[in-house]
Amino acid sequence: MTGAVTHDPPPTTGGGPDKPLIVTEDAMLLDDLLRLCAAAGATPEVHHSVPERRGSWESAPLVLVGDDAARRVRGAARRRGVVLVGRDQDDPGVWQRAVEIGADHVLMLPDGEQWLVDRIADVAEGVGRPALTVGVIGGRGGAGASTLACALAVTSAREGLRTLLVDADPLGGGLDVLLGGESTEGLRWPAFAASRGRVGGSALEESLPRLHSLRVLSWDRGDCVTIAPSAVRAVLAAARRRGGTVVVDLPRRIDDGVAEILAQLDLGLLVVPAELRAVAAGRRVASAVGMVLRDLRVAVRGPFGPGLDDSEVARLLGLPLVGEVPVESGLLRPDGGKAPPGATARGPLARFCKTFWERALTEAGGS
């Protein structure tokens, strides 16, 4: 069992990952907490009461207080990131003790073990602000969504942001091909098909192909492999914990795996050519995506049909307008050149992407 007393995040330090602090004299509880720390890849600092060393209590990124030690830490300075850990599921006084020590959460073992491992692992990885995660989806086939997704990722990396491009369409042929890196060593989606529980963010990043200063999670050219929704959720969560930006190229069908991705997106871009049939198809896609993703915006691609411009397309779709996606050779022939989409910094597509990131990061508080 876990329960939240407040929703404030734990404090973060500027010096990278730090040790969690355990306060308990309960030998059995300590054994369990040390085991969970080992599973999360963290080495804790252990004390029987509030540490005498100045600053240790205040600076630890996460404090695990055994229920036996609640009275001994009652007078400690209030801080965020304190978890009261016990075993008695039926103890009615545990919530009062949590309030007395200013705990954010109450956790009972063994039920809360996975939650606690995840929280400790966040500390071990030095998790800060999650990545701004953007999904790109076509309003119809051939709308140019994959090209725009690649251009956004290439532009993000060129601006110095840690960037991961995720290919969520197993039938799309592989974004590594679009980036000219199909032979580059690194793991593809099938390697994560059996993933269970938490995926390490650092391990994920290091295992993927590095192309044009960004990491790419793509599909291989083998037989189509089904990735369980739980594996999709774990992989994308790991990617987001690394910070920076994550760009996801979405398929136009919504299955359980895609729904898991949509649930983790900060915003989505619907790429719609400025023609009536594409607008009609885009409305169907927007309706399906909008059931999960609240912030969906439209990027309009020319040339424009009779009576249509980007504002009119946005009005017909009932979506906020991001702008008109520039038409350039990379967009029309994504596999026709040596450079990936958006690689030319002064090109119209790269400028469009740079403007998008500036606005999106400002909205997210990232600048």
On whether the CB atoms of residues 118 and 237 are closer than 8 A, the answer is no
Domain residue limits at 109: 2-125
Confidence (pLDDT) at 226 = 84
Q: Do 209 and 102 have their domain in common?
A: no
Listed residue (337, 161, 366) closest to 247, CA to CA: 161
Confidence (pLDDT) at 82 = 96
Q: Do 259 and 220 have their domain in common?
A: yes
In order, the DSSP letters of 102-154 are T-SEEEETTTTHHHHHHHHHHHHHT--SPPEEEEEEESSTTSSHHHHHHHHHH
Lowest mean pLDDT among 26-30, 242-246, 336-340: 336-340
Q: Do 228 and 164 have their domain in common?
A: yes
Q: Do 107 and 193 have their domain in common?
A: no
CA–CA separation, 228 and 193 (whole Å): 7
CA distance to 180, 189, 208, per residue, from 227 (Å): 24, 8, 17
CA distance to 88, 186, 332, 337, 364, per residue, from 11 (Å): 28, 34, 47, 47, 19
Boundary (domain end) residue, out of 98, 125, 152: 125
Boundary (domain end) residue, out of 125, 159, 185: 125
- CATH code: domain of residue 168: 3.40.50.300
Q: Do 232 and 114 have their domain in common?
A: no
Confidence (pLDDT) at 11 = 43
The three-point CA angle 42-39-246 to 5° equals 75
On whether the CB atoms of residues 143 and 281 are closer than 8 A, the answer is no
Boundary (domain end) residue, out of 69, 90, 125: 125
Q: Do 263 and 151 have their domain in common?
A: yes
Q: Do 195 and 314 have their domain in common?
A: yes
Task: Please write the tens of the pLDDT for every residue from 47-63.
Answer: 999 998 777 899 999 99
CA–CA separation, 291 and 10 (whole Å): 31
CA–CA separation, 265 and 247 (whole Å): 9
On whether the CB atoms of residues 68 and 126 are closer than 8 A, the answer is no
Q: Do 146 and 117 have their domain in common?
A: no
Tally of domains in the chain: 2
Q: Do 29 and 120 have their domain in common?
A: yes
Task: Please write the tens of the pLDDT for every residue from 69-106.
Answer: 999 999 999 999 999 999 988 888 999 999 999 999 99
Q: Do 68 and 173 have their domain in common?
A: no
Q: Do 304 and 342 have their domain in common?
A: yes
DSSP state of 54: T
Q: Do 345 and 218 have their domain in common?
A: yes
Q: What is the pTM of this model?
A: 0.74
